[in-house]
Amino acid sequence: MSNCLVELSITEKRFLAKQVIKNVKFRILKGEIVSLVGPSGCGKSTLLRIISGLDTDYTGDVRVLGSLPQLHSRGVGFIFQEPRLLPWLTVAENVGFDLGRKGGIHPRVRELLAEVGLQDCADAYPKQLSGGMAQRAAIARGLFTQPSLLLLDEPFSAVDAFTKMRLQDLLLSIAANHETTLLLVTHDINEATYLSDRVITLSSRPGRLSGEVRVPITRQRDRRNPELLRFEAEVLSLLDKDNADFADALAS
């Protein structure tokens, strides 16, 4: 397969009369960690839904792992803002659910639970987990099919700051261990620059590409590295420009 896991070129995406995305084009290469940031409503979740095959109603051309996006592709995992665990299944059964309920006894479930630090919670039910633990279970579930591409939609926005840092580092070690390519949507610019090789910025009304910031700092990165702040400032400038244009439009 080529080195390009996602090749996306959307000329237009509408919801009825409303144009929500216009001329968005990007590629994600194998092994990259890329973040999408932009104001609420600019189409970030819609882009992930298109890449995962959940939304097929757009104009343009999208290739994922060399083919048209396919719903439930085992090569693509999806992690949402909230864990979305099935409450009537145990943690192990949730993680292995791709194989049905009996997937819970698959040896990979135990390995993944150990990797996310939930080895003692295999037989617990989701309601017995804290928010951070539930999200770790969701990460393990997202990895169960050994996807080469993991899509994450604001995966850590519902957890506290300390848990968030630990989950970010867990994600980085998982991406390295499993050679997984990550495409992450986040509102947290600090998170985007800390995690990513590239941060793609979008503007809204309709969603368009506004720029891209490369973060050429090798890992393990130090969160206190002042260089990261410089890249954060670059991302903010791209986003601020959009805000300024919006304010101008409101004023005129």
Ligand X SMILES: Nc1ncnc2c1ncn2[C@@H]1O[C@H](COP(=O)(O)OP(=O)(O)OP(=O)(O)O)[C@@H](O)[C@H]1O
Binding mask of the shown chain, residues 232 to 251, with x at each position contacting ligand X by CB under 6 A: --------------------
Asked if residue 210 binds ligand X (CB under 6 A), the reply is no
Segment interacting with Mg ion, rule: CB under 5 A, options 37-45, 138-146, 173-181, 189-197: 37-45
* Residue 186 interacts with which of ligand X, Mg ion, none, CB < 5 to 8 Å by class: none
End-to-end, the C-alpha distance of the chain in Å comes to: 50
- 83, 84, 90, 91 alpha-carbon torsion, rounded to 10°: -20
Kindly give, in sequence order, each residue whose CB lies less than 8 Å from that of residue 124, ignoring residues fewer than 6 positions away: 90, 91
Asked if residue 35 binds Mg ion (CB under 5 A), the reply is no
CA-atom Rg of the chain in angstroms: 18
Kindly give, in sequence order, each residue whose CB lies less than 8 Å from that of residue 168, ignoring residues fewer than 6 positions away: 156, 191, 194, 195
For the CB of residue 120, give the shortest distance to ligand X in the complex, in Å.
34
* Residue 42 interacts with which of ligand X, Mg ion, none, CB < 5 to 8 Å by class: ligand X
Name residue, tokens 């409503």. Answer: 41
Asked if residue 196 binds ligand X (CB under 6 A), the reply is no
The string of DSSP letters for 173-214 reads HHHHHHT-EEEEE-S-HHHHHHH-SEEEEEETTTBEEEEEEE
Parallel, antiparallel, or unpaired for β 181-185 and 33-37? Answer: parallel
Tell which positions 14-73 bind ligand X, by CB under 6 A.
Answer: 15, 20, 40-46
For the CB of residue 217, give the shortest distance to ligand X in the complex, in Å.
26
* Residue 46 interacts with which of Mg ion, ligand X, none, CB < 5 to 8 Å by class: ligand X
* Residue 15 interacts with which of ligand X, Mg ion, none, CB < 5 to 8 Å by class: ligand X
How many residues in the shown chain lie near Mg ion by CB under 5 A? Answer: 1
For the CB of residue 120, give the shortest distance to Mg ion in the complex, in Å.
33
Asked if residue 252 binds ligand X (CB under 6 A), the reply is no
Within 71-129, where are the H helices? 91-95, 107-115
Q: Which of 20, 24, 26, 45 touches Mg ion (CB under 5 A)?
A: 45
> Which is closer to ligand X, CB of 40 or CB of 218?
40
Q: What separation in angstroms does the CA of 143 have from each of 29, 50, 136, 211?
A: 19, 20, 11, 30
Residues that bind ligand X (CB under 6 A): 15, 20, 40-46
Residues that bind Mg ion (CB under 5 A): 45
